[in-house]
Chain A
Amino acid sequence: MNRKIYLSVFLVALIIGLMVALQFRTTNSIEQGVPFGRSQELSVELNQLNTEKKQLESEIEDLIQKIQQTTKGQAEAKEVLTEELKKTRLGAGLTAVSGPGIEITLDNPSAGQNKGPGETIFAIRDEDLLRLVNELNGAGAEAISINGQRILATTEIRWAAPFINVNLTRIAPPYHILAIGAPKNLTSALEISGGLGEYLQSLGAQVRIQSYENLTVPGYTAPIEFRYAKPTKGD
């Protein structure tokens, strides 16, 4: 009987000690942390804030999409403008171009090649080059250069004895004229009987025409300035 009492007293003491210690630790941790009611409040607030955050996030996504659309539009516009600029530069002759074409080599008659009187005084003049350029343009040449000088809309070919000026640059014989276009058309335009080639040859000039699958015509590199011409409004 006595042993039973001791056992139960021991058990009770053990359980009390256990519970008190546990509760002590729990209470301690609660005091360090947040009280229960407060934590509930905070969790409700957290939920609200989470919902709000989600809404804001979706808004952000929306705005990002809008920005992307706008940026995309900008990029497209830029692309279009760049393409336009490229085309314009190509049309103006500011870029080097390559393609099938012909090379015409013109030279003054050499001293020993004289065939008759009157021919020795012949030298290729600006008019000859002008006619040649005109003929080539007529035959559908898309890009022409003379001794590396690209022919532009404003290019002059002018006799400045004893040289010829092209793009304000002196060029000297032999003249290498490069033209891009259908080689057949260009060649036939020059070699047609009674045409320019025959005419120049009859004057004693050395004319050589060669077709190429691929040749490169340089672009005009100096800056272009318009000091007087202004674009009209509405263009």
Chain B
Amino acid sequence: MGILAWVIILGGLAIGILAGLNVPFLIPQLYAKYLSVAILAALDSVFGGVRAAMEDSYDNTIFITGFFSNALLAAGLAFIGERLGMDLYLAAVVAFGVRLFQNLAIIRRHLLKK
């Protein structure tokens, strides 16, 4: 991980945040729930990727496909749950939340081991 990687990550984040803050439309309230679950899934994928990178088992294809499919799946799950009258998005929240914390813990240990 060189400086270039950090520049790319932070630059991407900054551009994305700037774009998000300046986009002239808002997500309708109905879909805000889905987006939040998708964000959670995406974050989980990101931390998973970081963890994989630290374990030296990073696979770009898996990372990218996992990122998008997790996000879409989580949003789709929330949508289906809404249609079925069930708070199915809670399942996504719990699953991704737990995994997120696990990944975070592993990343922390790796960082501390260094």
Contacts and interface: CB of A to CB of B under 8 A. Distances in A.
Interface of A: 1, 4-6, 8-27, 29-30, 33, 36, 39
B32 to A, nearest CB: 5
B29 A13 contact: no
A222 to B, nearest CB: 85
Which among A1, A4, A13, A33 has the greatest number of chain B C-beta atoms within 10 A?
A13
B15 A17 contact: yes
Contacts, number: 107
A24 B63 CA distance: 25
A16 B43 contact: yes
Interface in B78-103: none
Interface residues of B, number: 36
Given A12-B67, A36-B29, A19 B38 contact: yes
B35 A17 contact: no
Interface in B1-57: 4-5, 8-21, 23, 26-27, 29-30, 32, 35-36, 38-39, 42-43, 45-46, 49
Contact of A5 (B11, B27, B39, B60): B60
Most buried by B among A5, A6, A12: A12
A149 to B, nearest CB: 92
B64 interface: yes
Contacts of B39: 16, 19-20, 23
Contacts of B8: 6, 9-10, 13
Interface of B: 4-5, 8-21, 23, 26-27, 29-30, 32, 35-36, 38-39, 42-43, 45-46, 49, 58, 60, 63-64, 67
Contacts of A26: 26-27, 29, 32, 35
A4 B32 CA distance: 32
Contacts of A11: 12, 64
Contact of B9 (A13, A21, A22, A24): A13
A61 to B, nearest CB: 38
A11 B42 CA distance: 12
A17 B14 CA distance: 7
Contacts of A9: 5, 8-9, 12
B32 A18 contact: no
Nearest to A19: B39
Nearest to B19: A18
23 contacts: A5-B58, A5-B60, A8-B64, A9-B8, A9-B12, A10-B11, A12-B67, A13-B10, A13-B13, A13-B16, A15-B67, A16-B39, A16-B42, A17-B12, A17-B16, A18-B20, A21-B16, A23-B39, A24-B20, A25-B20, A25-B21, A26-B26, A29-B26
Most buried by A among B29, B30, B35: B29
